[in-house]
Structure 1
Amino acid sequence: MYDYTRETCLVAQTTTQESLASLITVEELKEDEFEATEDKGKLVFSKRSEIPPSCKDDRLITENGPVQTLEHIIHNFNDYYPFFEARGIFDWEQRTTTARELVNDQTSDDELLEIIINLLHGLDDGHVTLSASNGFEFSPASLEGTIDGILQDGFTNQSEISDFNSYISAQLQRMFEIKKSYFDDDSFKMAGGENQDTFQWATIGNGVIGYIEVLSMGGISDTSEEDDLSASEDLMDRILTDLAHTEALIINVMINGGGDLAVADAIANRFSQEKVTVTSYQATGYDYSNSPEVSQRIEREMEPTERVSFARPVATIAGPNTYSAAEHFLLSMRALNHPVCFIGEKSNGILSAVLDKKLPNNDVRLGLSNMITFDHTGQMFEAVGIPVDIEATTFELVDSNSQRNVAMDAAITALGFGYMVDQSEPAHDCSLTDARLRFETTAPQ
């Protein structure tokens, strides 16, 4: 198996038909291609008349060298990364020229790493990564608006606490205290994940509003990743049973790093009333004649679950710390014929799956965004983030005088219970009617 671009190629893996068959499940076999699934993901294998020209013996990369590594990285971005313009990178060609001038056969590993980091500077894509087996990982993603960035700025601009970790602990503890003050006595529960806190739920206003917070779409099971889906489904049964008497629901994913798309679906389908297309996706590349090549667009559908569900109004809270699979959860909720209001700030905008690429150094991997994701109306939100109905700050520094959570207040008000937070006026930006039509007419182009 080859990992190749139009100009570079190396052997990624040696396998047999028997080994491959144990990893994937063939779903449909055609004359020139076949469709298969791997770990619940859909794969399309197309027949080729010959191996790529860059993989011929005279061009195949067989040695780990700085020049070969740089070239393979550059050409992977040239061929498989479709988001330069969306990410505001308009000087990629000049960047590659500068990098090539700095690299030769004598370039050290540390020097090469610095050159690659400069090459990717400003890309602001959390799904672009360089990682090594020793635990090293680099991403050009910006910290602006993120929890890490806000906490670092807050620590720098204060003098009361000298230790950064102590400052973080104090901030997070106060934020938790404020959030918990909204909950009915003895209603708060947690479960899932290593610390048994990935799913959190409670009631608000003497059982009128249900509250669910999901911190990750992965790591739900305490035994193995393979059990994450079943663990999340069991947890959603338990949570929605506890909240069955509530009149409305808040789902908070404003701090969610993503994870498994199947887990996100296991949450969203609890609000599905009919079979709908929630998203579609395709990948880009080049064929052997150097012409741009786009894969067929694959649609993702969601059907109502036969497990415990919820049919009353919902408000979601999300923002710049909502990533990846958590953003796919938002796209699914946008597509459902369910009364949903979206509160907070635009999500982070890293919806693409990570395309994992081998480098000449076997200990180092390159990850980059390659999949273009569309919502149910055909719009793309990579880099720009998924918009909301009602804007509200989702993460801000607190002190001993802080008493309210702005996003929580906005969600409670949008659901029609503003009296609970001294907000008597209804949220005029969120009608909670026909969410599909609302987003078809108002989402940015």
Structure 2
Amino acid sequence: MILDFFKKYFLVLIMVFLIGCKSDDDTPVIEEDTINGFWLAEDKGYVIEFTDDQDILYNVNTSGCSIADDNFKIEELAGLQLEVLNNNELIGRSELIASDIKFIRLENQNEFCLADQISETDDPKVNYDHFWNIFNDYYAFFETRNVDWSQYEDLGEQVTSENFYQIIGELVLLLNDGHVAIDDEENNISIDAGLPNLLERLNAGLTGDLIIDSDETYNVLYNQRLEIIGLKYLGGEYKLDESGNIAWGMINNNVGYINVLGMQGYSDDESTELQVLNIVLDEMMDDFKNSGVSKLIIDVRFNGGGYDMVSVEIASRFMDQERSAFSKKARLGDSFTETTSVSVSPKGDFQYTDEIILLTSPLTASAAEIFTLCLKDLSYVTIVGDNTNGVFSDILVHALPNGAFVGLSNEIYSDAQGVIYESIGVGPLEVNRVPLFANDDYLEEKDSGIDKAVEILSNRN
């Protein structure tokens, strides 16, 4: 399970960041022949060719062009909608994603994407050139991750078919970024650049046979922890939504508990994701209102992320007023795109704004970290646990000429004060630091994070 942790979201986000379109009663249908031609999303390195027949998605970088999908069906992907601004500009929008994707019409077919210039080959040197340039053109955190990428440009001279994945795997591991990955399903290759550091952090409180070195060991710790929470702390009485993403119940007569396990998948259809989510949230908040709960624990320690705006929707149920939450911008050449700022406003019939403990861990990643940004500055919220993973950027996915996919961090997120937590994560004060896994917790069948949260809440009026 731990080895598939980031791959799960990497593969999902391959779909999220390919542009999609749907229509409903409120959205005019775009006639395809009005947008036929080539459209460039410059900050993403995406070129879409719209035709009367099959549409094509290309990935472009300084080294050339690769086909990501030669039968591109926008209506099937990600819940994004296309809006025509004018003859030369398209905007891709989704209620699940915090920023728009801007497309500019190309007067002529991109010079890298002419039929005789498209790279579709297993040649390791060609693939290395694409790999290196994809990161060189779009990756946003070389300085943050303390990597001089330029010194590896000529390493392609050493690659062969036998050592290709070994070499590029070693390079991405230097970035130590949980949103950087290489996936070649055909050749059974899956490399997660953030996995070694994640394991090191998870093992910090473990010794002996409990050190995580396999899926089996991780599953033992993970399953035992969730079982203990459900049975010991919630007494076996809790609710779980149909998607299995949110569980809630009572620790005792005064303390409520919410475990948000994911920020996506509340609906089978992205177009109704937020609608279904809000039905769940309405039920949950009504339960807490009727219970008269005066203190609350929100647990995102096992939440690997999903959609930013799912996080914002959940956070809205704990807002006392509209507040600036975060900003984001994408790398664009040597500069950045315009900044998108996101605020969170109270939503629903009831908002809980009394004492809250927010539990976080190294597994708290991506959109779950966005949720943490939304709540961390509230005067009635205290963070307990460990620093989050430190991977805020949406994953930008590109195809290599050999058909493999690479994912990378292309965007910079900052909090309401402009502070960037990439690679660091958001964490508690030292006095409230509790590791996710520890030998004593396993042996004594307890959860020290919840125990610490209850202790803090018990000492407050």
**Shorter-chain-normalised TM-score: which range?**
0.7 to 0.9
8 Å contact kept, 1:143–1:149: no
SS in 2 for 1:236: helix
Distance in 1, Cα, partners of 2:67 & 2:214: 45
Corresponding position of 1:78: 136
TM-score by length of 1: 0.77
* One-letter amino acid of the structure 1 residue matched with residue 91 of structure 2: E
Question: Contact (CA 8 Å) 2:373, 2:415: kept in 1 or not?
Answer: yes
Query: 1:379 — aligned with what?
Result: 419
Question: Structure 1 CA distance, aligned partners of 2:296 and 2:364?
Answer: 19
Moved more, 234-243 or 6-15: 6-15
In structure 2, C-alpha distance between the alignment counterparts of 1:208 and 1:384, rounded to whole Å? 34
**Which residue of structure 2 lines up, in the alignment, with residue 348 of structure 1?**
389
**Contact residue 205 and residue 435 of structure 2 kept, 8 A:** no
Of residues 313, 322, 325, the one that matches 1:278 is 325
Contact 2:202–2:362 (CA<8 Å) still a contact in 1?
A: no
Give the match's secondary structure for 2:314.
Answer: helix
Specify the alignment match of 1:253 in structure 2: 300
Shift of the alpha carbon at 1:155? 6.2
| DSSP 3-state at the match of 1:201 | strand
1:125: Cα distance to partner? Answer: 1.1
1:139 corresponds in structure 2 to 192
SS at match of 1:284: strand
**How large is the Cα RMSD of the aligned pairs?**
3.5
Alpha-carbon offset, residue 9 of structure 1: 2.3
Q: Amino acid of the residue matched to residue 141 of structure 1?
A: G
Secondary structure of 1:256's aligned partner = coil
Q: Which residue of 2 aligns with 1:29?
A: 85
**Among residues 107, 114, 133, which one is paired with 2:166 in the alignment?**
114
Specify whether residues 411 and 146 from structure 1 end up closer, same or farther in structure 2 by C-alpha distance, changes over 3 A only. farther
8 Å Cα contact 2:396-2:408 kept in structure 1: yes
Paired residues, number: 397
Q: Which residue of the partner structure matches residue 313 of structure 2?
A: 266
Equivalents in 2 of 1:338, 1:372: separation in Å? 26
Q: C-alpha deviations, 1:233-282, integer Å up to 9, x for none? A: 22222222222210011100011111122321221110123333311111
Instruction: Give secondary structure in 2 for the equivalent of 1:218.
Output: coil
In the alignment, structure 1 segments of 5+ residues that lack a partner are 287-291, 419-425, 427-431, 433-445
Q: 1:27–1:339: structure 2 CA closer, same or farther, 3 Å change rule?
A: farther
The SS at the match of 2:365 is coil
TM superposition shift of 1:13: 5.0
2:78, 2:265 → 1: CA distance? 25
Q: Within 2, Cα distance between the matches of 1:87 and 1:174?
A: 34
Within 5 Å, which residues of 2 pair with 1:14-413? 25-27=81-83, 29=85, 33-38=89-94, 40-41=96-97, 42-46=100-104, 54-55=112-113, 60-90=118-148, 92-97=149-154, 99-103=155-159, 107-108=160-161, 110-134=162-186, 136-146=189-199, 150=203, 154=207, 156=209, 167-168=217-218, 170-176=220-226, 178-180=228-230, 183=233, 185=235, 187-193=237-243, 196=244, 198-205=245-252, 207-221=253-267, 223-224=268-269, 226-244=271-289, 245-286=292-333, 292-334=334-376, 339-362=380-403, 364-389=404-429, 390-398=432-440, 401-402=443-444, 404-413=446-455
CA contact (8 A) 1:345 1:394 kept: yes
Distance (whole Å) between structure 1 residues aligned to residue 285 and residue 325 of structure 2: 22
Q: Please give the alpha-carbon distance, in whole angstroms, between the structure 2 residues aligned to 1:274 and 1:383.
A: 30
CA distance in 2, matches of 1:64, 1:164: 32
Displacement of 1:3 = 1.7
Report the CA distance shift for 1:275/1:77 in structure 2 as closer, same or farther (over 3 A): same
Over 3 Å counting, the alpha-carbon distance change for 1:301 and 1:169 in structure 2 is closer
Counterpart-to-counterpart distance in 2, 1:186 and 1:379: 40
Q: Which amino acid aligns with 2:423?
A: A
Change (3 A) 1:279 1:27: farther
Distance 1:398 1:171, change over 3 A: farther
Instruction: Indicate the residue corresponding to 1:4 in structure 2.
Output: 60
Going from structure 1 to structure 2, the CA distance change for 1:182 and 1:367 (only over 3 Å counts) comes to same
Summarize the Cα distance change of 1:388–1:111 in structure 2 as closer, same or farther, 3 Å threshold.
Answer: same
Structure 2: runs of 5+ lacking an equivalent: 1-47, 49-57
Report sequence identity in percent.
25
Distance 1:49 1:377, change over 3 A: farther
* Preserved contact between residue 273 and residue 338 of structure 1 (Cα < 8 Å): no
Question: What residue identity is the alignment partner of 1:83?
Answer: F
C-alpha contact (below 8 Å) 2:221/2:437 kept by paired residues = no
Name the CA shift for 1:18/1:211 in 2 (closer, same or farther; >3 Å): closer
Q: Decide whether aligned partners of structure 1 residues 243 and 216 sit closer, same or farther in structure 2, where only a CA change above 3 A counts.
A: same
Deviation string, structure 1 residues 65-91 (Cα, Å, up to 9, x no partner): 22221111100111101211212323x
Once residues 77 and 443 of structure 2 are traced to their aligned partners in structure 1, the CA distance between those partners, rounded to angstroms, is 61
Amino acid at match of 1:354: I
Deviation at 1:17, TM superposition (A): 12
- Aligned-partner residue type, residue 216 of structure 1: G
Could you tell me the TM-score, scaled by structure 2's length? 0.75
Write the distance in 2 (CA, Å) between the matches of 1:144 and 1:18: 36
User: Secondary structure of the residue that 2:424 maps to in structure 1?
Assistant: coil
* Structure 2 SS opposite 1:243: helix
Cα distance between partner residues in 2 of 1:21 and 1:406: 41
